[in-house]
Amino acid sequence: MTKETLLDPLHKVYRRILWRIIPFIFLCYVINYLERVNIGFAKLQFLHDLHLDETIFGIAAAVFFIGYVLFEVPSNLLLNRIGAPGTLCRIMLLWGIFTAAMAFAKDQYWLYGLRFLIGAAEAGFFPGVVLYMSYWLPDRYRGRAMTVFMIAIPVSGIFGGPLSGWIMQNLDGLHGLRGWQWLFLCEAPPALIAGALAIFVLTRSPQHARWLSPAERRAVEQDLERDHQTRETSPASVTEVLRDPRIYVLALIYFTVTSFNTNQVWLPTLLHNVSHASLREIGWISGVMSVGATLGIFIVGQSSDRFQERRWHIVGCGILSAIAYTLIAFTRDSTVLTATLLAMGTIGGYGVLSLFWTIPPAWLDRRVAPLGIGLISALGQFGGAAGPLIVARANALTGNLYGGFATVGLLLLGGVVCFLLFVPNPKRHALTDEVSLVSSK
C-alpha cells in the first residue's frame, strides 16, 4: 500500500467500489473471451467437417471484427443512455445465443454470418467497460484496475485451452455431435447466466448506489467532478470530435494492438503444427502458456504503477512482443521454445493493451468520452480483422504461419513507436496518486 493510498480520504470507499464492480465484469470478460480462444481449437476439427480451408477461416475470423466495428460506437452511446447493467445484459445474452448457433454451421456462409452476428453482439463490451469505469473511478484509480481487468484475457486461456481440448476429445460423437459442436454448445450457458445477472449485480452510477451512504455518494461524485475539471475541455459535437487528431492517433496505435488478436485465432494451429500433439495436450500446453502470460501481465501492471510510469513500459512490451513473434520461425522444431516465445509475445501484446486503455479516458473530456472512446476502439478494431487475414495470406503464400506472426509483431512495434512520437508524455505527478486495486487488497 502506497503513501498516497494512505493519505487518500476516499481510499476505503473506492476500495469498496472496486470490489463491487471489478469481479463481475472480470468474470464477464473471461466468458466473453472464451469464444475467441475456443474458435481456434474448434477450427482444428470443423475445417475438415465443413470442407473449408485456412483462407476461409482467416476471412471468418476477420468478419467477426466487421460486425464488432459497425456496432461498437452505437453500443457505447446506448450505454451512456441506458447504463452498463442493461448493456452488458444485452451483450452477454446475444453472445450466448449466437455462439450456441455456431454448433449448427453447415458451410462457409453460415460461418461468416454467425461470426458477424457474434461480433455485432460483443460490440461495445470493452469500450463500454472503459467508459463505465470512468463513471466510478478517478484517473488515479483506473491504472491497475484496467490491468486487473485485462488479466481476464490470459485467464480465459488458462481455463479455455484445457477445457476446449477436453470437450473436443471426450465429447466427440456424443449424441451424434462432433467435439467442435459440443464446444460451442457448452460455451453458451455461462454467457446467458452472466447476462441475466448483470441487471442485478451492476449499478449504473454512484448516485444509484444504495450500498453507499448518501455522504459517500456525494463525496465520490464531487471527487469525480474535480477529476474531470482538471482535464482540457474538448468539443462535444460529433463534427468536432471527428476533426480531433488525437482520436486518429490513438485509433492508429490501437489498430496495431488489435492485430495482435491473431494470437487467439491461430495459436492452437501453430502449436499443433509444431508438436503434432492431441487436442487435449494442445489445450494443456495453451493453458500453461496462459498461466505464464497472466503472471507476466500482472508484473507489468505492478511495475508500471510502482515506478509511476506508462510510456516506457508500453514501448518495452511492444519490443518484447515483436522480438518474440519474429523469433518463432527459428523454433519450429521445439514445442517448448515455441510455447515460450508465444507466451512472451502474449505478455508484451497484452501489456501494451492494458496500459494503452489508461490513456483515452484521461486525455479526452468527459463529454467527448462516450463517442471518442467508442470511435477509437471501433477504428482500431480493423486491426483485429487485418491480423488473421495477414496470417492466412502468409500461410497461403509460404505454407506456414511464421511470416504472418512476424508481420503482426512488427505492426505492434510500429504502434508503440507512433505512441512514443505523438502521444504527449503524461506529467509524472499525474501518476503519483494512482491507487492499485491489487496492492490494496
Domain with 227 in it: what CATH number? Answer: 1.20.1250.20
248 within some domain? yes
440 within some domain? no
Q: What is the CA radius of gyration of the chain?
A: 21
Question: For 168-207, how does the pLDDT look when each residue is reduced to its tens digit (9 = 90+)?
Answer: 989 999 999 999 999 999 988 999 999 999 999 999 888 8
Buried b (16+ CB within 10 A) or exposed e, 332-350: eeebeebbbbbbbbbbbbb
Q: Is 399 exposed, middle or buried (0-12, 13-18, 19+ CB in 10 A)?
A: exposed
Q: How far is CA 428 from the centre of its chain?
A: 27
Residue that is written with C-alpha cell 494492438 in the block: 257
- In angstroms, the CA 301 to CA 356 distance is 11
**In this predicted structure, what is the pLDDT of residue 103?**
93
Q: Which of 30-34, 205-209, 273-277, 301-305 has the lowest average pLDDT? A: 301-305
439 within some domain? no
Question: For 138-164, how does the pLDDT look when each residue is reduced to its tens digit (9 = 90+)?
Answer: 877 776 677 778 778 778 878 888 888
Residue of 282, 241, 224 whose CA lies nearest to 367: 241
- In angstroms, the CA 306 to CA 296 distance is 15
Per the structure, the count of domains in the chain is 1
- In angstroms, the CA 80 to CA 369 distance is 10
- In angstroms, the CA 129 to CA 27 distance is 13
Question: For 310-350, how does the pLDDT look when each residue is reduced to its tens digit (9 = 90+)?
Answer: 788 889 998 999 899 989 989 988 999 998 998 898 888 88
Please give the grid coordinates belonging to residue 366. 468527459
Residue 433: pLDDT above 60? no
Please give the grid coordinates belonging to residue 177. 455431435
- In angstroms, the CA 395 to CA 406 distance is 12
Identify whether the C-beta of residue 111 lies closer than 8 Å to the C-beta of residue 56: yes
Question: For 358-407, how does the pLDDT look when each residue is reduced to its tens digit (9 = 90+)?
Answer: 777 767 766 666 678 778 877 888 888 888 888 888 888 888 888 888 99
Q: Is the pLDDT higher at 71 or at 357?
A: 71
Identify whether the C-beta of residue 330 lies closer than 8 Å to the C-beta of residue 300: no
> Is the torsion defined by CA of 304, 264, 35, 63 positive or negative?
positive
Amino acid at 286: S
Range of the domain at 91: 3-232+240-432
- In angstroms, the CA 155 to CA 167 distance is 18
Identify whether the C-beta of residue 283 lies closer than 8 Å to the C-beta of residue 162: yes
Q: Is 223 exposed, middle or buried (0-12, 13-18, 19+ CB in 10 A)?
A: buried
> DSSP readout, 335-349?
HHHHHHHHHHHHHHH
Please give the grid coordinates belonging to residue 392. 492466412
Would you state the torsion angle of the CA atoms of residues 110, 114, 115, 119, taken in this order, to the nearest 10 degrees? 160
Amino acid at 363: W
59 within some domain? yes
Residue that is written with C-alpha cell 506456414 in the block: 400
**In this predicted structure, what is the pLDDT of residue 432?**
39
265 within some domain? yes
CA distances to 199, 247, 249, 284, 418 from 423, rounded to whole Å, are 37, 11, 8, 40, 8
**In this predicted structure, what is the pLDDT of residue 237?**
66
Q: Is 126 exposed, middle or buried (0-12, 13-18, 19+ CB in 10 A)?
A: buried
- In angstroms, the CA 398 to CA 104 distance is 32
170 within some domain? yes
Mean pLDDT of 267-281: 85
Mean pLDDT of 283-294: 84
- In angstroms, the CA 253 to CA 416 distance is 7
441 within some domain? no
Residues counted in the chain: 441
438 within some domain? no
